[in-house]
């Protein structure tokens, strides 16, 4: 069963990836987050620093990272790495 990670988990992945790409901690601290809503559903979240952006396309579980020129630097399929979770009845 595919399980989508929580928004908090994805934000942690974004911050960790931005660090690995060499962004300053001050840029990561000022990370802005926006929701993209379509037909009443949250379809995507964007995470922006002064120089980089990440976009999480929630329905397909894809997280992509871009530099200031719009070049894709990294991508991750979040659904492929999600571990099943037990849910209370």
pLDDT digits (tens), the chain, 89 positions: 567 789 999 999 999 999 999 999 999 999 999 999 999 999 999 999 999 999 999 999 999 999 999 999 999 998 865 455 666 66
With the C-alpha atoms ordered 51, 9, 79, 44, is the resulting torsion angle positive or negative? negative
DSSP tally for the chain: helices H, then strands E: 2, 5
CB burial class (10 A; 0-12, 13-18, 19+) of residue 5? buried
Q: Is 57:86 a contact under the CB 8 Å cutoff? A: no
Q: What is the pLDDT of residue 5?
A: 86
Q: What is the pLDDT of residue 84?
A: 59
* pTM for this entry: 0.83
């Amino acid at each position: 069963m595919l399980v989508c990670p929580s928004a908090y988990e994805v934000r942690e992945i974004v911050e960790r990836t931005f660090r690995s790409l060499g962004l300053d901690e001050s840029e990561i601290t000022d990370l802005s987050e926006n929701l993209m809503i379509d037909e009443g559903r949250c379809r995507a979240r964007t995470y922006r620093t002064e120089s980089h952006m990440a976009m999480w396309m929630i329905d397909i579980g894809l997280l992509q990272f871009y530099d200031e020129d719009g070049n894709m630097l990294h991508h991750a399929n979040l659904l492929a790495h999600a571990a099943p979770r037990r849910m209370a009845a």
